[in-house]
A = this chain, B = another copy of it.
Amino acid sequence: MTHPAHLHPDRLFPASQPAQSIARELYPAVADLPLICPHGHTDPSWFANNGRFSDPAALFLTPDHYVLRMLRSRGLTYDALGVPRKDGKPVADGRTAWRLFAANYHLFAGTPSKTWIDHSLQWGFGITDELSSATADAIYDTIDAALATPDLLPLALLDRAKVEVITTTEFALDPLVHHQKMAETGILGRVRTTYRPDDVTDPSRPAIVDNLKKFAELTGEDVTNWAGLINAHRARREYFRRFGAVATDHGVPSANTADLPLIEKQALLDKILAGKHDAADAELFRAQMMTEMALLSVEDGMVMQLHAGSRRNTDPLLFATRGADLGADIPGTTDYVNGMRALLARCGNEPNLRLIMFVLDETTYARELAPMAGYWPSLMIGPPWWFHDSPQGIRRYLDQVVETAGFYNLAGFNDDTRALLSIPARHDVWRREVCGFLATWVAENRLSRSTAEELAKHLSYQAAKDAYRIS
């Protein structure tokens, strides 16, 4: 079969022989394995309601901050790209925005976004033409027409993508109405929630006092008292587990943890409830809550995910006009070894604790992450995250973590996406890169071919199930 260059069946495999052929031989053993998606941000209403997606721009463009930020960086405005404004003023309509996107698609040469979109267009819609001004309208129409068919409904897409398990992420105060509905329709279990209590653990949020009030109401606990606050989490975690949750998730600016005496914890809580905390208090509260969450994980076995190191909302103008998660979050340095000392000293050797670390500061891979995961039984290394979930990012990751942490301290892959259609594409890139990495080591006579195949399968499927205790 012929194929366009941007959809080459051997794409991403090593450039030279014999590694390329070895990768090509390893790949079929993993290409069609079911997808385990234990961390992500898809919308649970999709699976609860199984309704159609509205239009191509709403599917591929406006919710994808990877795509938006690149176009913005080259001078296109979010108005022209159809990104909604807080003030409700009009922005470009879907087709107009799509044309602008298509006309600038060359900007994505060499980016993972292009790889994912090219793959998605082929996988979802059979489109093999490359996006450009010339093809913009035809591709828009093809997608738009397909979105009206049953094949493109969310649950049909899960089937087609062989998604065995997918988790969404909800805040502690979320009532989980969509998951309640899924419990009724029998989808729950395949779709699961994740407990992300940032709304009640991060005092830098303006709504923190209100949120804690709601947390008390929701759980019937007295959260003005430290023990009550922890009980509220205990209750809410139990509630989330009823809706399939196997894990918690924590988005924090640093990897700091603390283990304070009760009297200091209570004093800190008092300050926060009184609205008298400063940035250092907020950091200390978050740090203490990480240890509390770890102790609850020791109790209930939920897997803890730490997503540390993003400096959020670095563009105040964007935040004021359109809100969060639109491309202005930038990574910073993160200190894992000092940061996690308190938590690990407290419960790092507990057999029931499982903590998966995600990092944006690649300098920690070989220096901190791999040595830590290669020592502590409770620690595993999550897959390359966010900007680093890319072919080169995956190579740097494997290069720097495997020798010290081994392959079996890795948590497999997470797609971590808001874009349903990019899920198969993202897993495919990971699987191709894993095959390419292992193939190169086979070609260097460092791994046998049978070990390589075993590891390729493990990292593509079972590692994620094991890491997240999904049975």
Contacts and interface: CB of A to CB of B under 8 A. Distances in A.
B399 A392 contact: yes
Nearest to A8: B445
A449 B337 CA distance: 44
Contacts of A455: 109-110
Interface stretch (A213-221, A262-270, A278-286, A406-414): A406-414
Interface in A316-355: 316-318, 327-328, 330-333, 335, 337-338, 341, 344-345, 348-349, 351
Interface stretch (A145-153, A184-192, A365-373, A419-427): A365-373
Contact of A377 (B72, B373, B441, B449): B72
B399 A447 contact: no
Contact of A335 (B332, B445, B447): B332
A376 B73 contact: yes
A421 B6 CA distance: 41
Interface string A448-460: 1101000100000
B331 A448 contact: no
Nearest to A16: B16
A374 B445 contact: no
Contacts of A107: 406, 408
Contacts of A337: 311, 314, 330-332
Nearest to A452: B109
Contacts of A363: 333, 361-363, 367
A191 B87 CA distance: 49
A316 B348 CA distance: 10
Contacts of A404: 111, 387, 390
A315 B345 contact: yes
A209 interface: no
Contacts of A112: 403
B367 A338 contact: no
A206 interface: no
Given A11-B446, A368-B330, A404-B111, A73 B409 contact: yes
Contacts of A449: 5
Interface string A434-450: 00000011011111110
A407 B107 CA distance: 7
A162 to B, nearest CB: 24
A330 B371 CA distance: 6
Nearest to A387: B404
A25 interface: no
A391 B446 CA distance: 10
A344 B362 contact: no
Contact of A443 (B16, B341, B373, B393): B16
A183 interface: no
A341 B314 contact: yes
A447 B118 CA distance: 12
A69 interface: yes
A19 interface: yes
Nearest to A329: B371
Interface string A104-124: 001111111001000000000
Contact of A372 (B330, B349, B371): B330
A366 B391 contact: no
Contacts of A15: 14, 16, 18-19, 440, 443-444
A1 to B, nearest CB: 15
A231 interface: no
Given A332-B368, A448-B5, A403 B375 contact: no
The 10 A-B residue pairs with the shortest CB-CB distance, nearest first, are A8-B445, A15-B443, A16-B16, A5-B448, A11-B445, A390-B403, A330-B337, A69-B375, A330-B371, A331-B367
